[in-house]
Chain A
Amino acid sequence: MIVHSIFFYTFSVIAIVSAIMVIVSKNTVHSVFFLILDFISISCLFIMIGAEFLGMIMLIVYVGAVAILFLFVVMMLNVAQQKNQWFSTTKSSSHIPVGLIISLIIFFELIIVIGGWKYKPDLIISLSSLDISKEITNTHAIGNILYTDYIHLFQLSGMILLVAMIGAIILTFRQRKGLKRQSYFKQISRERKDGVQLVDVESNKGVKIDV
């Protein structure tokens, strides 16, 4: 049990610290890296409470796709150069009260939601009547439903993604003229006689090569 709490507190501290670092770090690229660290530690927390499917999805989707996308955007827009000067300038400090108010509102909303959830008596009864088996894992349970009851929807969403992919390629792909492409076959099939010409040079005459 004590090992469990050690792990829990380690990951929680990492998550909170990296969340703070996302906001305060001066370099935007560093912010994105802290964001990735935050995602990873939260997914570790998910795995610790037994929601391993959610944790892995979090890793794949947020770390594997979303955060990398952020990184690309940050690098392409080259905003890393413009240093984050939140706390140093007086100009932007007028935004801080507004931000504080909004975050306070969100905080109280969270309290209300969690309080209602905790103290609503029939919810707990209905949750306990859900009959969740502890024998099978999350992934098994989701897979059981997804691949039997909803298999047609699963396959259909695959088709939708395929169409989306085809559409994106059609609408953005342009064949530019005069583009020099590398052709492996051409390169490999090139032989010595195509490129090398042996010339017998007479002395005192020089040589003239037609290019």
Chain B
Amino acid sequence: MINLNLIFPEIFISLSIMFLLIVGVFKKNSLNFIYNLTIISLLITLALTLNYPIDTHLTLFNESYKIDYLSTFMKILTLISGIFVMLTSSKYIQITKIIKIEYPVLLLSSILGMMVMISSNDLIVFYMGLELQSLALYVLASFNKENLLSSEAGLKFFVLSALSSGLLLYGCSLIYGFSNSTNFILIAENLNSNSYGLTFGIVFILVGLAFKISAVPFHMWAPDVYQGSPTSVTIFFAILPKIAALTVFIRFLYVPFINLIDQWQMIIVFLSIASMLFGAIAAIGQRNLKRLIAYSSIGHMGYALAGLAAGSNNGIQSAVSYISIYLVMNLAFFSCLLMIRRNDNYFENIEDLSGLSKNHPILSISLLIVLFSLAGIPPLAGFFAKFYIFMAVIERSMYFLAVIGLLSTVIAAYYYLRIIKIIYFDPEKEKYDSNHHLGLKLSLIISTIFILFYFIYPSGLTEIISKINII
């Protein structure tokens, strides 16, 4: 008998999607109401996820759906960041008039897709979750259809993503053909490490996954999509899909194919090195902050992949803690970006930050903290994230990867520090608005405090993560 209690969060989210749609159709002028209701339903989903002991280890539906420590942790991470993303962007979507009742509904369905991806223990389940997630994201990217850039972003993302989904499916079918099953556990049992078909399948699936987390050389869509989409959607893009895709990376590489580590380790190392270097170098010339953060996120994904390449439990844990800290930093950065507003216009170029410190000292201080943390300057959270990764990598004596990682950190520090220089030493500009929405302030304060004071009690996070044991 299937224990349906364990998927109550997913069931609740799907029911609330339909409920909110119906409310939106029949209740006039219910935009804000639905938006708030969506946040509440995410909170309830979070409560339902926490309802069961976090260390339950169960599989459902013929072992195709897995609830374990990793999945519960990642789901909680997804839901919390989903709530914060919605809190930060509630004013933005009202001012830019892109709010429609479908907007929060699409966000919810994307989150549902991510939760399915996180729990998947089967290629079909994983693919379905991926499609649900990205289908909602295509629409969200082009949500501001009056804007040419937004439409371009949606179309570009759709076409390239469809291509990568095709490659991924091809990989899935190869693996199915050579291992006789789509289930991760059964694949591991039927594995014949001599067959080239399996290796090809792994490569194709890795290509598809690398596209989803925008690792080099499959990153081309990221800058355009980040820049073109409405900022509220860009926050979503920068944070949530990465969590889900990283979880699938971990599950896919370490459950069925742990014995083939020689074959996939080089691929991951290559993806990691290329992303770290490219993310550091290509961001230097950028003038648009959203584009810059796109390149920076490519680089950050490179570090997370370096943790995965280590092929040890420590590596996985370091990648998970990296992504947790990364999403807090991104949340803080985008909260700052959404505060750069004057007379209902949002600014997103680096020059607009010039001399910000004279008029807005508190905002500048928090931007300073965030940027230092993104660059990896010691007492801040970003340093610890990189520290865990390098520890795990050096433990497996992969010195080359560590050296490249350190080098690209130095290169990347240049463009983060340049923004700080522009904020503090350049001539000041006109004052920006200072009446911000409570949710935006709240998420900025919480995330900045997390980044600033992480070093006091780092074991709070690491102890939770250290219970993730995949191998």
Hey, which bits of chain A sit against chain B, CB under 8 A?
Answer: 149-153, 155-157, 159-160, 162-164, 166-167, 169-171
Contacts and interface: CB of A to CB of B under 8 A. Distances in A.
Contact of A156 (B106, B116, B139): B116
A170 B139 contact: yes
Nearest to B103: A170
B112 interface: yes
B292 interface: no
Given A149-B62, A152-B125, A170 B131 contact: no
16 contacts: A152-B60, A152-B65, A153-B125, A156-B116, A156-B128, A156-B129, A157-B128, A159-B112, A160-B132, A162-B18, A163-B109, A164-B135, A166-B105, A166-B139, A170-B102, A171-B142
Most chain B CB within 10 A, of A155, A159, A160, A166, is at A159
Contacts of A164: 135
B138 interface: yes
Given A153-B124, A159-B14, A160-B131, A167 B136 contact: yes
A159 B21 CA distance: 13
Interface string B95-114: 00000101001100100100
Contacts of B64: 152
Interface string B361-390: 000000000000000000000000000000
Most chain A CB within 10 A, of B21, B60, B129, B135, is at B135
B116 A166 contact: no
Contacts of B106: 163, 166-167
B136 A163 contact: yes
B135 A160 contact: yes
Contacts of B14: 155, 159
Query: In terms of DSSP, what is the predominant structure of the interface of chain B?
Result: helix
B323 interface: no
B132 A171 contact: no
Nearest to B105: A166
A171 B139 contact: yes
B139 A167 contact: yes
A153 B128 contact: yes
Contacts of B61: 149-152
B145 interface: yes
B229 to A, nearest CB: 14
A170 B125 CA distance: 27
A180 to B, nearest CB: 21
Contacts of A156: 116, 125, 128-129, 132
A157 B128 CA distance: 7
A160 B145 CA distance: 22
A157 B14 CA distance: 12
Contacts of A170: 100, 102, 139, 143
Nearest to A158: B14
B17 interface: yes
B134 to A, nearest CB: 10
Given A166-B21, A167-B138, A171-B142, A159 B109 contact: yes
Contacts of A151: 61
A163 B132 contact: yes
A165 B128 CA distance: 16
A150 to B, nearest CB: 8
Contacts of B138: 167
Contacts of A169: 102
A92 B26 CA distance: 57
Interface in B419-454: none
B19 to A, nearest CB: 13
B244 to A, nearest CB: 14
B91 to A, nearest CB: 21
Contacts of B65: 152
Contacts of A153: 124-125, 128
A157 B125 CA distance: 10
Contacts of A150: 61
Nearest to B7: A152
Contacts of B143: 170
Contacts of B109: 159, 162-163
A149 B61 CA distance: 6
B345 to A, nearest CB: 24
Interface in B14-32: 14, 17-18, 21
